[in-house]
Structure 1
């Protein structure tokens, strides 16, 4: 469900689990999800986090898990956005491409700030109130450094790495990053010497980038146009209208966020849950009434009304007309 902010899990992640001796089926079962997720590879934010939590539980050693996974996934298994980063001109170009195209695949957001002699790469999460597993945070930070090492062919080291979580085996991470690790920090960040970003990528492929970049940019544009929270909620509501009660709590749960967060974000988009329910019912009412095979009792039921009189009152408010008269007038227009 890419259009509606579901997350597509790349095949390379399942392959990476397998290379670590963990089957995709084992991870999905541990996450209490249907096995069809493996073939569909499209999940909600809540399910995505559950998969990483399950992987963490199976691995046991979180520090080893976050180090091993980015290193066992082969470059041939990278999804197109990551492939574009791997074949970028230099490390700076690669990181900027990662930050840009990550917006097509929520919930992680990558923020890059170059200031003075440092480049700070910060990871944060959007559209969820779920606690983020340490192994997911670490895997992302490790991957961003691994990308630079693979692309340049150089043993690039970080100057500092910060985690909001606490952990038991900091030394194993310090050995990989080549710098001190700070735990219990305010943010999850990878800090590099800015000069490292100037290193050219030996994997640079201009011809491939000319093919990938326009496609990814167009996909990103479509994602931005269609991926507002307002449209996502309307999409969910359209599939839930037959419920007698359209519950804010249910929709918030499906999106992996609290009711309060959902209300706040909808207010930010100049709308409310109540308005969206009304708009969706109005739109669907017109579509159902245009179908002569549906009687008015069925239409009321499909829109989630307990009785026809409630539907009649709502429709008169929307259209200034009764459903019967609207249907008759619509039919006459169709015949002309």
Structure 2
């Protein structure tokens, strides 16, 4: 099956911001096989290619640029997904819409929203394996865009409580001062933004039921087409990623995808895979990505990948690579 391709709307937005800041988008993309004209015209690319272009963007822009540039981004820059988000009745529905449909914009991140007590939080994680530089760029930009987007949608400033980052503070301390959150915490288990729950009930002045229905239908159609062209293994990995720490069984995956256990096994067989191999591949890819992070926490990684303890994770890692984790970290691959 051919690789699923996406229009790089999100990448285009950040390259345009780089151009506005006096940088050359073509120089940033040099060596990627794509030009600024390709991206500006929204030529489709698969997600791994988009991720590699984000890596170039991260390495060829100044420290903190992801944050400072994202503060000037706007929802409408993201095409049909952005306009649909602007047409929602409340901030809650707008953010939920973005979380569901951002893949259409070629977004390599997954966002999830939870509400607890007087707080709400949005978590940020990557859909696919990315370099540490690309992952950090995408997450910093997404978090930085959230406060101005909330103000853009509701005409009121975001009431941020705190922000957790799953990496060290690095070289962008000046840029981090843009955040209104009174508390920024680094080297946390995951990246998450926390706000006051009542803000989710804010109305959106640009809400329009007719426009909302129109764009929502278009988003459903686009997403359906993407899902149909993605392999079963890719769709299963989406579920595994969303269930980090509590990986679903084959029966649970079948129920979530609306398929029978036997159908899943048959279709995976046609792709040359088994359920066990999909889980193993997911764990391997994410283990390599998480271990490349500064000061990786073995217990947190083991939990995220669905292992009962660090010992089981270490034994599985040696089976995958023939090396201990410390040996692999001395010369990481792939």
TM-score, shorter chain, exceeding 0.5: yes
Q: Classify 1:46/1:123 alpha carbon distance in 2 versus 1 (closer, same or farther; 3 Å).
A: same
Q: Classify 1:145/1:270 alpha carbon distance in 2 versus 1 (closer, same or farther; 3 Å).
A: farther
Are 1:173 and 2:215 counterparts?
A: no
CA distance in 2, matches of 1:231, 1:76: 29
CA distance in 2, matches of 1:173, 1:186: 19
Partner of residue 270 from structure 1, selected from 265, 271, 290: 265
CA-CA distance at 1:80 after TM superposition: 0.8
Aligned-CA RMSD value: 3.2
- Secondary structure of the structure 2 residue equivalent to 1:6: coil
Q: Classify 1:170/1:213 alpha carbon distance in 2 versus 1 (closer, same or farther; 3 Å).
A: same
Asked whether the 8 Å contact 2:81–2:101 carries over to 1, the reply is yes
> What residue in structure 1 maps to residue 33 of structure 2?
33
> What residue in structure 2 maps to residue 185 of structure 1?
188
Asked whether the 8 Å contact 2:148–2:157 carries over to 1, the reply is no
Are 1:204 and 2:207 counterparts?
A: yes
> What residue in structure 2 maps to residue 93 of structure 1?
93
> What residue in structure 2 maps to residue 107 of structure 1?
108
> What residue in structure 2 maps to residue 126 of structure 1?
127
Q: Classify 1:209/1:182 alpha carbon distance in 2 versus 1 (closer, same or farther; 3 Å).
A: same
- Secondary structure of the structure 2 residue equivalent to 1:59: coil
- Secondary structure of the structure 1 residue equivalent to 2:69: helix
- Secondary structure of the structure 2 residue equivalent to 1:128: coil
CA-CA distance at 1:98 after TM superposition: 0.5
> What residue in structure 1 maps to residue 21 of structure 2?
20
CA distance in 2, matches of 1:76, 1:231: 29
> What residue in structure 1 maps to residue 153 of structure 2?
151
CA-CA distance at 1:127 after TM superposition: 3.3
Residue ranges of structure 1 left out of the alignment (5+ in a row): 233-263, 279-336
> What residue in structure 1 maps to residue 80 of structure 2?
80
CA distance in 2, matches of 1:111, 1:173: 23
Query: What whole-Å deviation, never above 9, does each CA across 1:306-335 have from its counterpart, x for those lacking one?
Result: xxxxxxxxxxxxxxxxxxxxxxxxxxxxxx
- Secondary structure of the structure 1 residue equivalent to 2:265: coil
Asked whether the 8 Å contact 2:123–2:192 carries over to 1, the reply is yes
TM-score by length of 1: 0.63
How many positions carry a matched residue from both structures? 242
CA distance in 1, matches of 2:208, 2:68: 27
- Secondary structure of the structure 1 residue equivalent to 2:111: strand
